[in-house]
């Protein structure tokens, strides 16, 4: 008789995106939630169901590493966030700082020097608590990608997640498919939920063959329609168009291309906030820039919130390119 345990129970609780978003933002310090059927990049889409949420989320770059290395990376990431978000009017950003506690005084000194406040001789649990609270009062939610197929690769990530939970962080473990209920997965499967995915229409699953607005991008379709209605900008931009760049003739496909003025407009969804897409976007921008293209990036959230403002930003870039070289704006 085959004694292999089943890969999953009869059913996991299935939650609609808006309900799952509420569960995630409602996590308290030290709490954990395991989400099946979703990768870490998808958490951004889920959290966008609550646009005015008061908590942030950090996608942890776990990869195939030891627990200690993963935790060090988490501390490095939190320190980078503290450096980027240190309030300019905080007394730690300028003198006097004598009244600050020792950690904040040292952190302020680092910030003034343009350095992330990372102190490797400090006890890891104490530094974690200070960095977590410095990013946000309640600390950001840590989002982990757990490999569902390799227990050896999953184990250090799960151990790091458990350590962070013990030391006050709210955590979300994501697995693209349900794993077998054996070690080490059995440590995170209690209370797991699945994302309930509504069926997608054919248009959302269709990959456009030409340079029209991408069928799956509502933001791109809205911007393309607005540009077509604008007397000044109509006809200038191609959608979903290839751009010849680089010494080897590479042709990356961009969201909006203005060939006449060598302008590229990219419309970024939440998945562009984290690696590997974030790094790939920076490299693409570099390639386009060194090939003579001006790149403007807008987020889907900005377009949804204020489409006219997005169009005016595009117009400003076009006007910049139209202006004779050496002429300054008034």
- Which CATH number covers residue 308? 3.40.960.10
Is 329 within the bounds of a domain? no
Q: Do 275 and 134 lie in a common domain?
A: no
Q: Do 167 and 226 lie in a common domain?
A: no
The string of pLDDT tens digits covering residues 104-127 is 999 999 999 999 999 999 999 999
On whether the CB atoms of residues 195 and 17 are closer than 8 A, the answer is: yes
Per-residue pLDDT at 263 exceeds 90:
yes
The string of pLDDT tens digits covering residues 272-300 is 777 777 888 888 888 888 888 999 999 98
Percent of the chain, pLDDT > 70? 83
Q: Do 185 and 70 lie in a common domain?
A: yes
pLDDT reported for residue 62: 62
Q: Do 170 and 309 lie in a common domain?
A: no
The string of pLDDT tens digits covering residues 23-39 is 999 999 999 999 998 88
* Rounded Cα distance, 315 and 233, in Å: 7
* Rounded Cα distance, 189 and 327, in Å: 63
The string of pLDDT tens digits covering residues 203-244 is 555 555 544 555 557 888 899 999 999 999 999 998 888 887
Is 297 within the bounds of a domain? yes
Is 328 within the bounds of a domain? no
Residue with tokens 């969804």: 269
Global pTM value? 0.60
On whether the CB atoms of residues 45 and 269 are closer than 8 A, the answer is: yes
On whether the CB atoms of residues 92 and 85 are closer than 8 A, the answer is: no
On whether the CB atoms of residues 130 and 157 are closer than 8 A, the answer is: no
Which of 177, 195, 213 lies at the terminal end of a domain, its last residue? 195
Q: Helix 102-112 vs helix 67-85: angle between axes, to the nearest 10 degrees?
A: 70
Q: How confident is the model at residue 55 (pLDDT cuts 50, 70, 90)?
A: confident
Is 157 within the bounds of a domain? yes
Q: b/e for 69-102, b at 16 or more Cβ within 10 A? A: ebbbbbbebbbebbbeebeeeeebeeeebeebee
Which of 174, 195, 216 lies at the terminal end of a domain, its last residue? 195
- Give the closest residue to 84 by CA, choosing from 39, 116, 123: 116
Q: Do 169 and 306 lie in a common domain?
A: no
Domain count, the chain: 2
Torsional sign, CA 104, 54, 22, 50? negative
Which of 172, 195, 218 lies at the terminal end of a domain, its last residue? 195
Provide the domain limits for residue 247.
203-322
């Amino acid at each position: 008789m085959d004694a292999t345990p089943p890969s999953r129970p009869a059913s996991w609780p299935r939650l609609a995106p808006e309900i799952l978003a509420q569960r995630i933002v409602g996590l308290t310090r030290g709490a954990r939630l395991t989400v099946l059927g979703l990768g870490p990049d998808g958490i951004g889409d889920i959290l966008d169901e609550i646009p005015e949420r008061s908590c942030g989320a950090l996608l942890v770059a776990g990869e195939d590493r030891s627990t200690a290395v993963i935790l060090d990376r988490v501390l490095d990431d939190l320190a980078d966030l503290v450096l980027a978000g240190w309030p300019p009017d905080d007394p730690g950003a300028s003198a006097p700082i004598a009244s600050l506690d020792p950690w904040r005084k040292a952190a302020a000194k680092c910030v003034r020097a343009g350095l992330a406040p990372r102190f490797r001789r400090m006890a890891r649990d104490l530094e974690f608590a200070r960095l977590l609270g410095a990013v946000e009062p309640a600390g950001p939610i840590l989002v982990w990608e757990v490999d569902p197929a390799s227990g050896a690769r999953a184990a250090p990530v799960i151990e790091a997640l458990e350590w962070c939970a013990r030391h006050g962080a709210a955590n979300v473990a994501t697995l693209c498919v349900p794993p077998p209920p054996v070690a080490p997965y059995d440590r995170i499967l209690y209370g797991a939920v699945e994302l309930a995915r509504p069926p997608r229409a054919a248009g959302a699953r269709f990959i456009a063959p030409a340079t029209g607005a991408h069928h799956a991008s509502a933001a791109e379709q809205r911007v393309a329609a607005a540009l077509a209605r604008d007397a000044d900008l109509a006809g200038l931009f191609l959608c979903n168009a290839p751009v010849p760049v680089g010494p080897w003739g590479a042709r990356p496909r961009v969201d909006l291309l203005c060939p006449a003025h060598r302008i590229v407009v990219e419309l970024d969804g939440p998945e562009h906030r984290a690696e590997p897409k974030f790094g790939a976007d920076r490299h693409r921008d570099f390639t386009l820039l060194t090939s003579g293209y001006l790149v403007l990036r807008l987020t889907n959230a900005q377009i949804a919130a204020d489409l006219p403002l997005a169009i005016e930003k595009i117009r400003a870039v076009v006007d910049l390119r139209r202006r004779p070289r050496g002429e300054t704006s008034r």
